[in-house]
Structure 1
C-alpha cells in the first residue's frame, strides 16, 4: 500500500512534469510562430490537438494544480525550512505568488478541457482595467509590477548562483546546473518585461496595456537574438523541470500525515 508521503511525492512530481510540458511548448511556439499565439491558451490548444489531447490536457491541469498546492505549502507551513527572517519570508511570499500563477494556469487548462475557453481576448488587460477602475487601483497595479521585477531579479540571482541545486538529488544529470541557469535567466527577462508593463500602465500612462506571459515573449520579437535566447531558454527551463520531476528532493508528510516537512 502506498503511504501518504509517497502519494504526495507523486503529485509534486506530476506538477513538475506539467510545468515542463508548459514551458517547452511555450518556448517552442515562440520560436516557430514568432509573435503569434504564444500565450497559455496557445499552449493548451496545442496540447489538446495531440492524440488523446483532452485527456492529456486534464493531466496537465491536475499537475499544474498539484504544483500550485505544493508551492502554497511554503508560506503556510514552511515545508522547506526557508525560515521566518526577512530573506525567508521574501522567498515564501515568492512561492505564494508562484502558487497563484499556476492556479490561474490550471484554471485556464480546465476551462479549455471542458469547452469553456475564452476563445480570445486579452485577460491580462481586462484584469488590469478592472484594477485601475477601483480606488487606489493604480497603486496596487504598480506594486504588482514592482513585485514582478523583484521576482525577475531573484530569478536572475538563482541563475547566477545555482542555489536551486540545493533541492536536487546529487544523482541528477551533470547538465542540470546549466539547464536551470539558462532557464531561470530566460524567466528573469520575461518577468521584468511583465513588471515594467504593469508599472508603465499604472504610474506612467494610466492605461490597461499590460502584458501576459505570451505577450511579454512576443514583445521581444523585434529584439533579434534576445528573443531567440529567451524562447530557447524557456525550452531549457522546461527540460530542467523534467529533471526536477525525477530528481527534486520532495518533503515527506509529517507524522500526522497532513503537514509536509522537508527531509534535510
Structure 2
C-alpha cells in the first residue's frame, strides 16, 4: 500500500513536471515571438488551453504547482531538505518560502485559465506595475520593494552559482541520464539573467519611486529582444531548463515527510 508520504512525493513530482512544462513553453514562445513572451506565464497557459484536452491539462498543472508550493513551504518551515544551519542555509530556506508563494500564485493563474476566467487571469498577469504603484504609495513601500529587489538579485547570484558548480545535482538521483547536468547548467544560467533583470528593475523602481521601472518575468525576457544573441541564448536556456525540470521530475530526491511535526524521517 502506498503511504501518504509517497502519495505526496508523486504530487511533488507532478509539480516539477508542471514547472518544467511552463518554462519549456515560455522559452518556446520567446523564440517564436518576443511580443507574446511579454505576457509571461499567462501566454503559456493560453497556449495550453488551445491544445486538445488543454483544460484538463491546466487543472493537472494547477494541482501539481500547489503540491510543489507545499513542498517548498514545508522545506522553509521545517528544513525538510536538511540545509546547513548557517547564513547560506537560512538563505535557501527563505528562498524556498519565496518559491512557495510564487508557485502558489502561478497555480492560481493556471486554475483561472482552467475555469474559463481568462480575462481576469490575463489582467492579473499584466498588472505588475499597477500593484507596484500601489505599494509605492505606502510610506514603507520603496523599502519593501527594495528588499524584494535584493531578494531577486540574491536569487540571481544563487542561480549563477548553480550554473557554475552544478550543486543542484546533489538532489538528483545517480540513475538520472548524464546529460541532465549540462541541461541544468544552461537552464540555471538563463534564469540567473532573468532574475538579475527583475531584481535590478525592482531596485530602480524603489530608488526612483517609479512603478514603470519594474519588470515581471515576461517583461524581463522581452527587454532582451534587442540584444540579439543574448536574447536567443536566454530563450534557449529557458527551454533547456524546462526539459531539465521535466526529467528531474522523475529523478529528484524527495525526502520522506514524517508524521506529526512534518520533519523528514531520520
> Which range, TM-score by smaller chain?
over 0.9
**Matches of 2:181 and 2:173, distance apart in 1:** 12
**Matches of 2:136 and 2:165, distance apart in 1:** 37
Number of residues of Structure 1 aligned to a counterpart in Structure 2: 262
Label 1:132 to 1:163 Cα distance change in 2 as closer, same or farther (>3 A): same
Residue 111 of structure 1 corresponds to which residue in structure 2? 112
**With structure 2 as the length reference, what TM-score do the two structures score?**
0.94
Residue 222 of structure 2 corresponds to which residue in structure 1? 218
Any residues of structure 2 matched to 1:174-253 within 5 Å, and which? 174-204=178-208, 206-253=210-257
Q: Give the superposition deviation at 1:208.
A: 3.8
Any residues of structure 2 matched to 1:1-264 within 5 Å, and which? 1-38=1-38, 39-117=40-118, 118=120, 119-120=122-123, 122-204=126-208, 206-254=210-258, 256=259, 259-261=262-264
Q: Which has the higher helix share?
A: 2
Q: Give the superposition deviation at 1:83.
A: 3.1
Q: Give the superposition deviation at 1:258.
A: 6.3
Moved over 6 A (4+): none
| Contact 1:220–1:226 (CA under 8 A) maintained in structure 2 | yes
**Matches of 1:47 and 1:176, distance apart in 2:** 25
Unaligned runs of 5+ in 1: none
**Matches of 1:26 and 1:78, distance apart in 2:** 31
Unaligned runs of 5+ in 2: none
| Contact 1:189–1:230 (CA under 8 A) maintained in structure 2 | yes
Q: Secondary structure at the match of 1:170?
A: coil
**With structure 1 as the length reference, what TM-score do the two structures score?**
0.95
**Matches of 2:130 and 2:62, distance apart in 1:** 23
| Contact 1:79–1:262 (CA under 8 A) maintained in structure 2 | no
Label 1:175 to 1:257 Cα distance change in 2 as closer, same or farther (>3 A): farther
Q: What value does the CA root-mean-square deviation take over the aligned residues?
A: 1.5
